[in-house]
Amino acid sequence: MSVLRFLTAGESHGRGLTAVIEGVPAGLALSEERIARDLARRQRGYGRGKRQQIETDRAEITAGVRHGRSIGSPIALWIGNADHGNANWRVRMAVEEVDERVDAVTLLRPGHADLAGTQKYALDDVRPVLERASARETAARVAVGAVARALLAELGVSVRSHVRAIGPVAWEAAAGVDWEAVERSPVRVADPDVEAKMIAAIDDAKSRHDTLGGVFEVRALGLPFGLGSHVQWDRRLDGRIAQAFLSINAVKGVELGDAWTVAALPGSEAQDVILPSARWTERPWQRASNRAGGLEGGMTNGEDLVVRAAIKPISTVPRRMPTADLHSGEEATSFYERSDACVVPAAAVIGEAMLAIVLAGAALEKFGGDHMDEIRRNHDAFRESVGPRRAGGAGAAGRAGGEPSEDPAE
């Protein structure tokens, strides 16, 4: 269990979303403005549906922050659902008993949690399942992620994302991505030709009453060595990252570095050569390539961390689809209200949040401390210590370490 934990609560059309984050040290500068920026980035993206025109997500910080800084106690966040203001939703999602008749949702939608959820929780209405399974919940995760990013920024780490594919249209980003161009793009790519093709693909899917999935990539830049550990299965950072990404609604596959390409190469061509110190230009222990995506032995290895995720086309397909009825078990056709046509750009922002949360937790495990100053000191001293290590326990590049113990008991 990470020292940084969070829980969310809230239904898609209920009053709103709550998040509680435990383990944030004292002294971290935080503001609702900063969180709002990430929430707005999640709401953007070509292919989003009408719901995003109703919501303007804003997280209120209701606990754990005083005079602009965390105080070490749990941080609580509240994001109201504007759509709940609609009279229909107020009745359908009322906390108290209501006098009005509320019809059960009984048409099971394949690809959603509807069938498994109603069976597991013994429900005769799909509504309670779909409300919580909805990707609306990811707004709370992005708010939590903004807190995690603030902590990582103090350690010189930034988290970025771009889209690699929407439906059949792919974008192979170069190593030096123009991140500002990505931010300006409604499909999160930095190539105008590819952007136009992706937009056309989404328009085409919409006109055919269909939806599109794709692939997004998240990178963490400026990471220190040694987040995660090789010593125990559940401390391996690669496993923790994969779990975090697969927990994002509709994500069905995760790739670390060039995993799928490397799988087809002979071992002699699959490595990232460790360069000698004469060739280091930016930091100790640079590599000739980064096929591993910044992770070896379940630890960060100083290179950029690269995670890619495959997201399936949204299961709410805007046309009638064959299904079965929850009450009768008989053949039926699914209903359609409204939905997004493509959420790949938004999912990339959610991926940033999940990666930031995992990395901030791992950084707190490595650098410890209850105040940001303490964490910064530990972090800076560790970064200083990275470099060639001499036999006999001498420290990095011949620095201290290996000194005779001054413990009088020894």
Give me the residues that bind ligand EPS (CB under 6 A), please: 12, 49, 51, 55, 83, 134-136, 139, 249, 316, 338-340
Question: Shortest distance, CB of residue 27 to ligand EPS, whole angstroms?
Answer: 32
Minimum Å gap between C-beta 132 and ligand EPS is: 10
Token readout for 112 is 């959603």
Q: For residue 287, count other CB atoms closer than 10 A to its CB.
A: 17
Which pair of structure tokens corresponds to residue 187?
A: 């499909």
Least Å from the CB of residue 135 to ligand EPS: 4
Provide the minimum distance between the beta carbon of 30 and ligand EPS in the complex, in angstroms, as a whole number.
Answer: 22
Based on CB atoms, which residue is closest to ligand EPS, 312 or 376? Answer: 312
How near is the Cβ of 83 to ligand EPS at its closest, in Å? 6
Which residue of the chain is nearest ligand EPS when measured via CB? 51
Quick one: the chain helix, strand, coil %, rounded to 5? 35, 20, 45
Q: In what order do the strands lie in the sheet with 251-256?
A: 169-170, 158-166, 214-221, 305-311, 251-256
The runs of H, that is alpha helices, within 247-313 are 259-262
Q: What is the CA radius of gyration of the chain?
A: 24
Q: What gap in Å lies between CA 59 and CA 173, rounded to an integer?
A: 32
Which residue, 138 or 301, is less far from ligand EPS as judged by CB?
A: 138
Place of tokens 């059949």: 168
Residue 158 vs 339, nearer CB to ligand EPS: 339
> What string of H, E and C letters represents the secondary structure of 43-97?
HCCCCCCCHHHHCCCCEEEEECEECCEEECCCEEEEEECHHHHCHHHHHHCCCCC
Shortest separation between residue 138's beta carbon and ligand EPS, angstroms:
6
Minimum CB distance to ligand EPS smaller for 55 or for 191:
55
